[in-house]
Structure 1
Amino acid sequence: MTPVSTRLVRLLNMVPYLKANPSITYAEAAADLGVSRKQLQQDLDQLWMCGLPGYGPGDLIDFEFSGDTIKVTFSAGMDEPLRLTSPEATGLLVALRALIDIPGVVDPQAALSAIAKIESAAGTVSHDHTHAAAAVEERAPIESDTAAAVRAAVRDGRALCIEYYSASRDQLSSRIVDPIRVVLVGDHSYLHAWARDADGVRLFRLDRIVEASVLDQVAVPPEPAVQAPPDTSLFDADPALPAATLLLAPAASWMFEYYPMRILEELPDGYHKAVITYASEDWMSRVLLGFGADVAVLAPESLVARVRRGAAAALAAYADLTG
């Protein structure tokens, strides 16, 4: 299965290539582009549905097929140099700078180089190019070997051997996985991959992958797993539901893998402040009481009071039992 990013690059290059080679044959184009005739036809069908906003006649990329030859009759500007408006350039710069600090998503050095080029092309630098030089010379964040290995495996379609820390079991395990993609969920990046030992799709948090090495094996995740979007329902929260702010002791850190929680703050000594949504305050209080001193409720006040009353009632019942 060809990665989406690889096909996108090929599609972006096809229009100027075909424009520069009018009435080229299918066989010649397929050979030059390094694809089969079937893939070339699929790419042309895809391009035929692309174009400028409006997407009506005169907006979409158009071709003329005569016998066994291909000719671009309307390129929708795809063969022209990219020209960004100021808001578009600003949006790209903000997104790139945000992605630099997220492990496994982009090559920090390549992102920094792109930032410098966009800043220069968008005219955000002075005439003496002082800002452009500063952007080029800015040091990119040091990418960990683990993040680089994950990114390389996803890009090249290679299997990975990872040492993964499981918070629920408080132990390291060695796994061989077939990477599918890197996804962002909340404040963390995850490797979406087919876990061979579990025979299923799993999300591995990148900051819990202690070590990763790219194997000399082609990644072979099942096609349905590749086509299906990652299941992030565990992390989704309904904004219409009430939310509780909790203080979790290190012993309760396994909760992050089993409850839809979002970390607000990492505190000293392994403590975390986190938020969780709930539908029933009665259910939420019963769940929290089961964790004892490992979880403290900070807000809302109504839930704090309910948990306090439940704890007092439990202590009173134990006192009665002991006479």
Structure 2
Amino acid sequence: MTGPRQSADRLGRLLNLVPYLLARPGILVAEAAADLGVSERQLREDLELLWVCGLPGYGPGDLIDMALDGDRVTISHDAGIDRPLRLTQDEALALVVALRMLAETPGTGHRDVIERALAKIENAAGDLADAPVAVRLPANAKRVDKVRAAVESGHALRMTYYTAARDETTDRVVDPMRVLMVGGKAYLEAWCRRAEATRLFRIDRIDDFTELAEPSRPPAGAEPHDLTGGVFHPTPDLPLVTLRVGRRSRWITEYYPVEEVHRSGGDEWIVTMRVTDLGWAQRLLLGLGPDVTVLGPPELLTRIREQATAALDQYSTPGR
């Protein structure tokens, strides 16, 4: 598939390819392709195009020249394209903000490396680095620091934790593994002795904790979570909820992972989503009001109907 977006991507790649190869004479084509995030076939096509690019005149000494010896490539004449493209203003600002946030995030390792990278980007960005952009960390930063210090001590923790999915508070002993930030929220990842599994605990939902004298000893099979796609990973064994959603509540399709969305007619959408717990779904949907209609599963319909009826009875009973 070709088009303006693909052409712009290729132009940017070609302009960066020459200085990249100049700095790595004799590099393997396969290694360069992996570094640049393209297939080996695409890189060879780019190299063939570079052979006919250069300065006006397009004669000997004007065109880019290279030696492609089997699986290795070396630039022998760069035609003046010896420096990579500079960041755009938006790209530079995005990097500055991201690095500032990372530098201030509790528990982040290699802070010196982050600060050196930030200094280089700010120097390259010039006045743009002083743009009035506020970097705000979670309000519970002090609590995050306390939990991180407890984790670094290497001891088990006894804690009181609120589980939003079941709307309950429990006491449990955990063997901490790490503190991490996902989606702007801080989590403690630990082996939970109560659940006998690795769990993620949102630090703002830890009501209280005590550091125990015994060391933290997660079992050998305690694997850290894969968080590349976020904290919640819907699986086929989880309950499937089907909703009819009006215009005002379409935001839930962006805020929560959904399986399918299709139009029902007019402004309404039919939305299906996996949930960890029907109790959590019940509380969420009761709060959304009449703009959302639950179509299934039957158990969720029954639970919502019973809770709504009980609430109405409270209003109709004299003296309450």
TM-score, with structure 2 as normaliser: 0.41
TM-score, with structure 1 as normaliser: 0.41
Larger radius of gyration: 2
